[in-house]
Amino acid sequence: MTSGIRIPFMDLSYIHQPMEDELSDVFKSILQSNQYILGSHLSAFESSYAIFNQTQYAIGVSNGLDALFLSLKALGIEEGDEVIVPSNTFIASILAITALKAVPVFAEPDMQTYNICPDNIRNAITSKTKAIMPVHLYGQACDMETIATIASDNNLIIVEDNAQAQGAAFKSKLTGSWGHANATSFYPGKNLGALGDAGAVTTNDLAVAEKIQLLRNYGSDKKYYHKVAGHNMRMDNLQAAFLDIKLKHLPVWTAERQKIAAYYTQILSSVGDLILPYINADSSHVFHLYVIRTKYRDALQAYLSENGIQTLIHYPIPPHLQEAYRHLNYRKGDFPVAETIADTCLSLPLYPGLSKEQCHYIASTIASFFERL
Ligand SMILES: *Cc1c(COP(=O)(O)O)cnc(C)c1O
């Protein structure tokens, strides 16, 4: 029994160490500039990110949750409106909806891709439905073509939750560029991460972009003149500067994630009862997470931990069963696909810098777990 972690779930030092001087230099220059809020680095990063995401506009905000909230709010979602959202997403997707007193309507995902199933979206539409929030879970693009058709047939807004899929695409159109306003997160562990909290909204609609700029800044575009009751949800100039430096490397990091994922899939195929990630033919997958499934999940996770391998569960409790949403009166069994995924999924370490030898150690430890069963 080894004590201590040999392979952490995530290690950001591989990507930060080589750029330490560059990050320190920009920190020093901002320190001396006295420009900390809504400065030139923020507008520079907003331009770079809009170009990266192939949208007209990107607006830097405080975090991914606020990016979702501001997107919904700018598009006019309000009390009582129904928003269709996958039953197996991270809680932030739901929190953004309920913060506006709108109603999350859960649609089950596809059991292979873990992304929201278009047929289940169709079945969830009522006269109160205003929006669909597809979540590109684990880094794989949803079937945005079908979802866009459903939205336009039913006059619905799309807000993509693109927190996990920066750079992914459906039929070569990037995630974060399909919806009316789309949110992403630069939480440090995301594929593109700040050195703290940050997020962005991407859109092709000038009016929506301007609305978000107002809402994130106290409802003001002129100091001390307030057009709407807004919020303080700005991205720091400092975080924007760090992100602009890191963005240049994102394509290389994504390619590395995809290579590690392909290696895992090669060395884990036909091990135990493992179900490995499935990639839809028209989607690209940027592997924010490499998620496997097994009915022995808890025992496997404990065994890996004993052998120094840290894993996580994304996510152990689906939103409809969270204590925070007890008042929605859902029960176990209401969304069996989400519940099955929650009971069986396990995310393996995956980050730029993870070596082939480390993957091999992880795979052989998993294999030895199943041999001992
Ligand atoms: C991380 C994440 C968010 C929230 O982003 P924060 O920056 O942490 O607020 C929202 N949705 C999904 C799917 C996420 O993974």
pLDDT digits (tens, 9 = 90+) for 248-262: 999 999 999 999 999
* Ligand 1, pocket-test mutation among 94, 116, 137, 164, most atoms within 8 A of CB: 164
For residue 69, give the 3-state DSSP assignment: helix
Which residues, including other chains, have CB under 8 Å from residue 115's CB and lie 6 or more apart?
86, 109, 134, 135, 136, 137, 140, 141, 142, 143, 280
Radius of gyration over every alpha carbon of the chain, rounded to an integer in angstroms = 21
Name the closest-CA residue to atom 4, ligand 1. Answer: 64
Give the atom of ligand 1 at the shortest distance from the alpha carbon of 288: 15
Reply yes or no on whether the pLDDT at 92 is more than 90.
yes
Give the atom of ligand 1 at the shortest distance from the alpha carbon of 89: 13
Task: Kindly state if the Cβ of 239 falls inside 6 Å of ligand 1.
Answer: no
Name the closest-CA residue to atom 7, ligand 1. Answer: 64
Note the pLDDT of residue 5. Answer: 84
Give mean pLDDT, residues 354-373: 97
Reply yes or no on whether the pLDDT at 130 is more than 60.
yes
Share of the chain above pLDDT 90, in %: 98
Q: What tens digit of pLDDT does each residue of 23-58 get?
A: 999 999 999 999 999 999 999 999 999 999 999 999
Band (4; pLDDT cuts 50, 70, 90):
confident
Measured in Å, residue 95 CA sits from the centre of ligand 1 at 10
Q: Are strands 129-132 and 157-158 parallel, antiparallel or unpaired?
A: parallel
Cα–Cα distances in Å, from 296 out to 274, 316, 346, 365, 370? 9, 14, 10, 14, 9
Measured in Å, residue 183 CA sits from the centre of ligand 1 at 9
Task: Give the chain's mean pLDDT.
Answer: 97
- State the amino acid at position 346 in one-letter form: L
Closest CA to 183 of 167, 160, 158: 160
Name the closest-CA residue to atom 2, ligand 1. Answer: 163
pTM as predicted? 0.98
Note the pLDDT of residue 368. Answer: 98
Task: Kindly state if the Cβ of 164 falls inside 6 Å of ligand 1.
Answer: yes
Give mean pLDDT, residues 52-69: 99
Give mean pLDDT, residues 236-244: 98
Give mean pLDDT, residues 98-105: 98
Name the closest-CA residue to atom 6, ligand 1. Answer: 64
> Is 144 in contact with 173 (CB distance < 8 Å)?
yes
* Sign for the pseudo-dihedral over CA of 146, 147, 153, 154: positive
Note the pLDDT of residue 85. Answer: 99
Reply yes or no on whether the pLDDT at 278 is more than 60.
yes
- What gap in Å lies between CA 247 and CA 166, rounded to an integer? 10
Note the pLDDT of residue 3. Answer: 54
Q: What tens digit of pLDDT does each residue of 203-230 get?
A: 999 999 999 999 999 999 999 999 999 9
For residue 256, give the 3-state DSSP assignment: helix
Half-sphere exposure of 147 (CA within 13 A, CB side): 30
Q: What tens digit of pLDDT does each residue of 166-191 get?
A: 999 999 999 999 999 999 999 999 99
Reply yes or no on whether the pLDDT at 1 is more than 60.
no
Give mean pLDDT, residues 277-290: 98
